[in-house]
Amino acid sequence: MSTAMPEPVVVEVRLGITLVYSPLPRQVRVWSIALEAGATLGEALECCGLFEEFPDLEKNCLQLGVWGRKVRMGHVLQDRDRIEIYRPLQVDPKTARRERFTRQGMKSAGLFTTKRPGAKAGY
């Protein structure tokens, strides 16, 4: 009978990561990549070839998130994470709403645009 311990089995864990970037409105680019366990967000960006496809992006100035939560470049990824690269807003939402209200007028904008016959004001 042998007293030797069996050799441990080494299992290589790979993370399935999805990276999403929208360079223009209504246009989305998606990458599916596999990385080693313990990989960071920065390593995922390097692996997918984002900077070769979009050379105007600056690595240090990106707004990044994982599943809608802002994270930094050194964030350690988990399996099935979705990395999102955010574009800067073109128009301030408050300004856009104010301009839309000015164009449409008070009667055709807001919650109380349609009124039931015989209803009280504001209901």
| DSSP symbol at 8 | P
Phi, psi of 27 (to 5 degrees): -135, 120
pTM for the model stands at 0.66
Query: What is the side-by-side order of every strand in the sheet holding 27-36?
Result: 27-36, 14-24, 82-86, 63-66, 69-71
Dump pLDDT digits (tens) for 53-108. 888 888 778 899 999 999 998 899 999 999 999 988 888 889 888 888 888 776 66
At residue 67, the pLDDT reads 94
**Among 6-10, 11-15, 99-103, which stretch is predicted with the lowest mean pLDDT?**
6-10
Dump pLDDT digits (tens) for 24-51. 888 999 999 999 988 999 899 888 888 8
- In this model, does residue 123 exceed pLDDT 60? no
9 SS3 class:
coil
Question: Sign of the CA dihedral 114, 118, 122, 123?
Answer: negative
- In this model, does residue 114 exceed pLDDT 80? no
At residue 1, the pLDDT reads 55
